[in-house]
Amino acid sequence: MICAGIDAGSRSIKAVLFDTERKEVLASGLADQGVAQERLAADLFEKLLRKAGLDRPRISGVIATGYGRHAIHFADTTVTEITCHARGVHWLAPDARTIVEIGGQDSKVISLEDGGRVRDFAMNDRCAAGTGRFLEMVASRLEMSWEKLAELGRQSNKPALISNVCVVFAETEIIGLLADGQPLPDVVAGVQNAIATRVAALAGRFVSPPVYFTGGVALLAGMARALEEVLACPVRVAPRPQFTGALGAALSAAAPTAPAACSL
Amino acid sequence: MNAPPRKLSLEEWDGRYDQLRRDGLREPAYGGPLRRHVVRENDFRLQQLRFDNSPAALRLWNFLLTENERLHQARAAGHKIVGTMKDLGTVPVMAYALPGVRAFYPDGAWWTPCLMECSDKLLQQAERSGIDASFCPVRAMLPAFENGRHFPRPDLLVCSAGAICDDFSTIAQRLEHLGYPIFWWEIPRRRHPDFGEIACPLPGNLAAPKTQVDCVRAELQRVGQALAELAGENLDDDCLAAGIRAANQVRQRLDSLRRLVYSAPAAPLPALEMLVAEMLAIHFCSDRDETIAVLDDLLAEVQSRARRGQFVLGPQAARIFWVNPVADLRAMNLLEELGGRLCGSDFMFTHALDLIPENLPPLEALARAALADPMIGPASDRAARIVRECQAGRAEAVVVSRIPGASHCAREGEIILEMVRRQAGIPAIELEIPPVSDAMRPSLASRLQALVETAQARRSH
């Protein structure tokens, strides 16, 4: 049986085709998010089918997750990112007990029980300061790519203190720090620490190791280290972190105990 | 008339109402189609809500939405109007013990921006009075007093002080400075009796030192004198005892309704109607006798549905315990759309659901009831009751809904979540719900859906 998972995030759409008998990912891909979410997702899905040499009838189930999941009407049903990241990370790393996921516009901390069942979770609600949006804003203000941003952060020996908890005010603070002659790597590392601190506040007291870090922001070198410092425990980056949501969605499509369909 | 339970949009209720009328529906004087509240009162939010389809629910909604009309009629009939602020269920019991006195709850104006989808501009007007968005939406009460378009100006305004929310205290003080004299009474922060102190048991398995009960009793005596002077009547013990018995009739009905609805294998009544029904405990929606009739109808409907095995949601719905009332009523619909149902609630006034002791001198009984207010004691007391009720109601998850700007729930949410996780062992989330939550709907829906998924997934293990 082959199942598909589509994670329609705020910045990108990720898709995974999963063979439940061979227990392996047949194809995965990513496309930039846009206004025509469903068309973008459908194009990506078709591309993956071609890549895997499959046609649509071979796919037993499609589950959409992510911020834009309700726009993916060709999916059989929707499941939230909480459930999908939990399933995806558990499949890749069965020892995971805590998942930190930082995406484009939200961040989550998920606590897992034995067997990968979600015990509890927390999500940011009205603030973007603990999300990839903060890094995007900094990258855009400094006119550099995420990769370059990460590289710079690694060069810091003395991260700057970003005291504002609001992204908009923090932008002004960052400009001020640079104008005062703070080295760029220290400012970038300071931003990473600020994000990690917000996520740690979200995590509260339910962080049990091993902690796995997933979502697109996990790809940024330096972020895992920043999280380790504030959480005071080792943080492992999940394999192919930007795809764990889509993988979890594909696994949910395959699992007979997949949660009930959402009526939205 | 006995259609299977369903949730209807306002549009669907138009047709349902016509059908009910053709079938001979008999309504009280305040009855009529729900649509009229949109047309006459600009209660636009009703167009976004889904309502229970029973005549009993129609009566409940019409009762709620005609309160201001009822107050104006009472004033025209020469009744005395008492605004009881920041008091969830004690002073109204005293006020209704007197003939010709109506108590209402000006704080209830916090739902007006939601119902009118902010078209009334009450929140903006409050900002102009210096009470901005960092305060609870109850600030809508200020301009509602000033413009006189909602409730009539009360003959007496009573407000508790002391262990109350800082933001409410500020709003009430501002109101007084705007020319609305307030009769203040003190409620101390409830504490556990020290070693060697005489402890008084309170409703809800709580206790307070006798000194605190004595203090509140003396304060309520002052309130009683003010009410009696206003009414020109004597508020003696017999009169108060009769008022307590009548209030307990409301509480008994609510208790039966809650037990039936929350313990049923599936939900016989939607979450939204339960929230509105429970709110009647605070001040009887300005008509105590009618409150009893409204609740009798609801109870009969729920009993009949339970007997027939007919429910508004299937048994697979996740059993959710809900903490705090929501500023946007739409949130209660959303929970059910996402596969959850209520199996318990703490809408901040659980003490107004507990029976007032009838075996004590009336003022002593009222003082003890007032001191059992979950908002004036340690958050851990409130959390402990929530945990107990979660366990009794077999809750699978808890939602703590936060009211933007409300100082009483700034930190208590964390305490409740922590205790629920640790002692009840179930997932819990905190959500902030503003008066019109449309812009936050995707994020609210994600978290509620994730909670429901988590609760349901835990069943299969």
Q: A77-107, pLDDT tens digit by residue?
A: 999 999 999 999 999 999 999 999 998 778 8
The three-state (H, E, C) secondary structure of B24-56, written as one string: CCCCCCCCCCCHHHHHHHCCHHHHHCCEECCHH
- Considering CB atoms only, which of A80, A125, A257 is closest to B449? A80
| Chain-chain contact of B445 with A264 (C-beta, under 8 angstroms) | yes
| Chain-chain contact of A122 with B457 (C-beta, under 8 angstroms) | no
- Alpha helices by DSSP H, listed for A53-131, are 81-92
Interface size between A and B, measured as CB pairs under 8 A: 73
State the pLDDT at residue B1. Answer: 64
Q: Where are the beta strands (DSSP E) in B292-435?
A: 318-323, 340-346, 397-402, 428-432
Contacting residues of B for A125, CB less than 8 Å apart: 431-432, 440, 443, 447
What is the C-alpha to C-alpha distance for residues B429 and B328, in angstroms, rounded to an integer?
17
Contact (CB, 8 A) for A60 and A3: yes
Enter the tokens of residue B361.
């001198």
Query: A78, A22, A28, A76: which is closest to A49 by C-alpha?
Result: A28
The three-state (H, E, C) secondary structure of B276-305, written as one string: HHHHHHHHHHHCHHHHHHHHHHHHHHHHHH
What is the C-alpha to C-alpha distance for residues B409 and A233, in angstroms, rounded to an integer?
31
How many other CB atoms are found less than 10 A from the CB of residue B421? Answer: 20
Contacting residues of B for A106, CB less than 8 Å apart: 443
Q: Among A123, A131, A133, A251, which would you mutate to test the B interface (most chain B Cβ atoms within 10 Å of its Cβ)?
A: A123
**pLDDT, tens digit, 9 for 90 and up, residues A149-180:** 878 888 888 888 887 667 777 788 888 888 88
Q: Among B447, B459, B461, which would you mutate to test the A interface (most chain A Cβ atoms within 10 Å of its Cβ)?
A: B447
| Chain-chain contact of B454 with A82 (C-beta, under 8 angstroms) | yes
What is the C-alpha to C-alpha distance for residues B417 and B112, in angstroms, rounded to an integer?
29
Is the bond preceding B442 in cis, omega lying within 30 degrees of 0?
no
Q: What is the pLDDT along chain B (461 residues), one digit of tens a residue?
A: 678 999 999 999 999 999 999 999 999 999 999 999 999 989 999 999 999 999 999 999 999 999 999 999 999 999 999 999 988 889 999 999 999 999 999 988 889 989 888 888 888 888 888 888 888 888 899 889 988 889 999 999 999 998 888 888 888 888 899 899 999 999 999 999 999 999 999 999 999 999 999 999 999 999 999 999 999 999 999 999 999 999 999 999 999 999 999 999 999 999 999 999 999 999 999 999 999 999 999 999 999 999 999 999 989 999 999 999 999 999 999 999 999 999 999 999 999 999 999 999 999 999 999 999 999 999 999 999 999 999 999 999 999 998 888 877 667 898 999 999 999 999 999 998 988 989 888 889 999 999 999 999 988 66
ipTM for the predicted complex: 0.83
Enter the tokens of residue A258.
């997949």
In this structure, which amino acid lies at residue B307? Answer: R
State the pLDDT at residue B38. Answer: 95
Q: Range with the lowest mean pLDDT among A28-37, A244-253, B346-355, B400-409? A: B400-409
Query: A100, A57, A94: which is closest to A81 by C-alpha?
Result: A100
User: Could you tell me which chain A residue has the CA closest to the CA of B446?
Assistant: A80
- Judged against a pLDDT cut of 80, whether residue A259 lies above it is answered with no
Residue B101 Cα to chain centre, angstroms: 21
B402 beta partners? B432
- Judged against a pLDDT cut of 60, whether residue A11 lies above it is answered with yes
- Considering CB atoms only, which of B339, B450, B458 is closest to A82? B450
Which residues of chain B have a Cβ shorter than 8 Å from any chain A Cβ? 316, 337-339, 414, 418, 421, 427-429, 431-432, 440, 442-443, 445-447, 449-450, 452-454, 456-458, 460-461
Q: How confident is the model at residue A129 (pLDDT cuts 50, 70, 90)?
A: low
State the pLDDT at residue A126. Answer: 65
| Token pair 């004198």 in the structure block, residue | B225
Enter the tokens of residue A211.
């902690």
Measuring CA to CA, how many Å separate A229 from each of A89, A224, A225, A264, B59?
A: 22, 9, 6, 40, 58
Contacting residues of B for A123, CB less than 8 Å apart: 429, 443, 446-447, 450
| Chain-chain contact of B454 with A120 (C-beta, under 8 angstroms) | yes
Measuring CA to CA, how many Å separate A175 from each of A135, A140, A169, A183, A194?
A: 14, 12, 10, 12, 15
- Alpha helices by DSSP H, listed for B163-287, are 166-177, 210-231, 237-263, 271-283
State the pLDDT at residue B386. Answer: 97
Measuring CA to CA, how many Å separate A215 from each of A59, B285, B388?
A: 25, 50, 38
| Chain-chain contact of A125 with B338 (C-beta, under 8 angstroms) | no
| Chain-chain contact of A118 with B427 (C-beta, under 8 angstroms) | yes
Domains of chain A: 1-93+242-264 (3.30.420.40), 95-238 (3.30.420.40)
Enter the tokens of residue B383.
């959390």
